[in-house]
Chain A
Amino acid sequence: MTTTERILISGNEAVAMAAFESGVAFASGYPGTPSTEILEHLSALGGPARWAPNEKVALEVALGAAFGGGRALAAMKHVGLNVAADPLFSAAYTSVNGALVVVSADDPGMASSQNEQDNRRYAVAAGLPMLEPSDSQEAYDFTVAAIELSERWRLPVLLRMTTRVCHSKTVVRARRPAAPPAPARFERDVRGRVMLPAYGRPAHRRLREKLARIAEWNETGPLTRRISGDRELGIIASGVAFMHAREVAPSASMLKLGLTYPLPMGAIANFAATAERCVVIEEGDPFLAEAIRAAGITVEAKPEPFRFGELNVGRVRRILAGDDSPEPEPPRGKPPALCAACQYLPVFEIFRKLNCIVSGDIGCSTLGALPPYEAVDSCVCMGASIGIGLGLRHVLPAAEARRVVSVIGDSTFLHSGMTGLVEMIYNPPPTGHLLIILDNSTTAMTGFQEHAGSGRALDHQPTGKVVLEDLARAFGIEDVHVIDPVAESGELARTISECLGNGRINVIVARHTCVLGARQIEGWARAATPAETAP
């Protein structure tokens, strides 16, 4: 079935639509810019989308669905794939029965991230086929292609997006979803699925054989597109960089790579040989250029300054012109800040007064690092606040150690904080420790997504609920306090002050619904309350 209606949608919406129309049976992920809207849109279409506590769990559940013969999708931002890397690497060995598409939404330029890692490296490291769409039409088509490739080769497939592809709205003209899926069923394959060393060794060989055959298919397959043009300039490009290059040099000959791992080295060598000058235009790391040069093919790579940040038409023009003069600064707008009415302002005020050393975490609370509070001393990755706080407590002189506090949001705690809490119980520092969970009842930074502590699923329907203070007590922590930072700010200040120095391990749940999202969140909560208890 082909739909030819013309629509204007974002890359994220296109992925969701392709997954929905191709009968994806299960989709999971964890919110993170720029990937969040994929699952939200899939759910809005009526598709089976769920938020998992973190990306590792999301990928594992999706892998299980694919073991069962279903079509599965896991969507996350680039740093989320770090969390999910453990199952990712082994899934390349175990293979799948249905389809497994892993969406990695990278953030070159760091619009909303802590780093600009280039996840194309994961495809090479894990040995997974990878597709790089360059607009919404390709986001749709490549999602379908990823499902088809995954089913054909029984391998997970990486769909690598970037901020501009995820969030740009472009026209989608034709939609051809994958043929209807086969019914899900369990197929026993102990040697294929149990990664004991004896079964893993042949699995690695099978993987490399498959990759060699996929590379061969890619030489002439539909994802390698040659656009004829002038002989003087040949451009090899992928992703959104292809669009910038096409605009800058409309008459150049181009080799557009859709499946960027494994690469069609024969096609690349032929293309480079026919161009008088051959330049690789890519965003982020020189991933293509390094691989192509390592294969002994002469191409120009972009100069080092263009590794940083996003590319655009102006920067591609510079690369092609060999212009290495200093680049103009892009407009620097007003940076984000903690909301003026944020319920957690009193917490940061207390930290400042008590001269705390604050081991912070990912989320809104990271913004406490900015003036006027400057009350966060480190922020590394999801959940790191607890381990880093403990490490500081272990080495600092006692007087300083007693100033150390770990601070984490509710969604981030459920994502990666629980094992840190176990460490706090198992290896307590001599001065004890204090963990403060800022529970605003939502995943605020990414736009109010539900999580396991909210008691509602992605579609805001009621589901099981993890109660943070119950969890901390069940772990064996005796000093657990639940305090409203707005209504009981005096009590909060006294409790923090006492917990910092009492030599025990303490947890404070500072609970107050996010002020910015309160109306929406309370609306979902009311709608999710069973009818008999409603007035």
Chain B
Amino acid sequence: MNDPTPVTNIIIAGLGGQGVVTAAAILAEAAFRAGHNIKQSEIRGMSQRGGSVSTDVRFGPAVYSPMTPPGEADYLVVLAPDQIEIHRPSLRPGGRLIAPDCLDSAALENRKSLNVGLLGALSTCLDIPEAVWHEAIRSVLPEKLHAANLQAFAMGRACGLTGASGRGRIPVVSLP
């Protein structure tokens, strides 16, 4: 059956305290401001205690379930290296993995902005205008964090663009 309502499925994963939920909130806000129908869902029950956190963001003309069907994520953004293998099966064949080594975290103004940096890399794959991303960052984060996070976003975006045109810094993951 043809899919009449193409939905973009993104999973953001990491550990409690890494800003997974914040990154998902920015992504959701950006997609929402770009006029999409959107659902965002997360598992964060005991995540305050350093456990795994993952969130699903789905957008498109019409979205029903708030959760990405298993093995159907188009993009997987992972903030902690040890969480990559756990979540890799969520990606569809040909889906893209955005891992923490996408960008040089030492060059970040604030190391805690890795989450927004990876969103910058992701943003090059999505049809959401850059200005809308900036609005989303400003609306979700407190003002004192704007500068550092806009810098991180720009850095990630530059890496993503290099990857798209060059050696594939954002790898396409092929599954067996």
Contacts and interface: CB of A to CB of B under 8 A. Distances in A.
A34 B44 CA distance: 9
A247 B90 CA distance: 18
B69 A336 contact: no
Interface residues of B, number: 41
B65 interface: yes
Contacts of A523: none
B12 to A, nearest CB: 13
Interface in B20-77: 25, 28-29, 32, 37-54, 63-67, 69-72
Interface stretch (A51-59, A326-334, A344-352): A326-334
A249 to B, nearest CB: 10
Contacts of A391: none
B38 A170 contact: yes
B89 A168 contact: no
B28 A8 contact: yes
Contact of B66 (A164, A332, A364): A164
A473 to B, nearest CB: 33
Contacts of A364: 49
A495 interface: no
Nearest to B47: A336
A337 B50 CA distance: 7
Interface stretch (A238-246, A261-269, A397-405): A238-246
B86 interface: yes
B27 to A, nearest CB: 11
B170 interface: no
Contacts of B25: 169
Given A312-B65, A312-B70, A164 B41 contact: yes
Contact of B83 (A34, A334, A339, A444): A334
Interface in B63-113: 63-67, 69-72, 82-83, 86-87, 89-90
B38 A171 contact: yes
B87 A135 contact: no
A335 interface: yes
For the complex of A and B, the 5 pairs showing the least CB-CB separation, nearest first, are: A333-B52, A112-B45, A111-B45, A336-B51, A336-B49
A243 B70 contact: no
Contacts of B70: 312-314, 328, 330
B69 A312 contact: yes
Contacts of B69: 247, 312-314, 317
A367 interface: yes
B47 A170 contact: no
Interface string A304-324: 000000101110010000000
A79 to B, nearest CB: 13
Given A8-B32, A168-B39, A445-B49, 14 more contacts: A34-B45, A167-B42, A240-B66, A247-B64, A250-B4, A312-B67, A328-B70, A330-B70, A331-B52, A331-B89, A334-B15, A336-B51, A337-B49, A339-B49
A8 B57 CA distance: 12
Contact of A331 (B15, B40, B63, B87): B87
Interface string B1-30: 000100000000101100000000100110
A338 interface: yes
Given A243-B64, A313-B69, A314-B69, A168 B50 contact: no
A171 B32 contact: yes
Which of B39, B47, B52, B64 gathers the greatest number of chain A CB atoms within 10 Å? B64
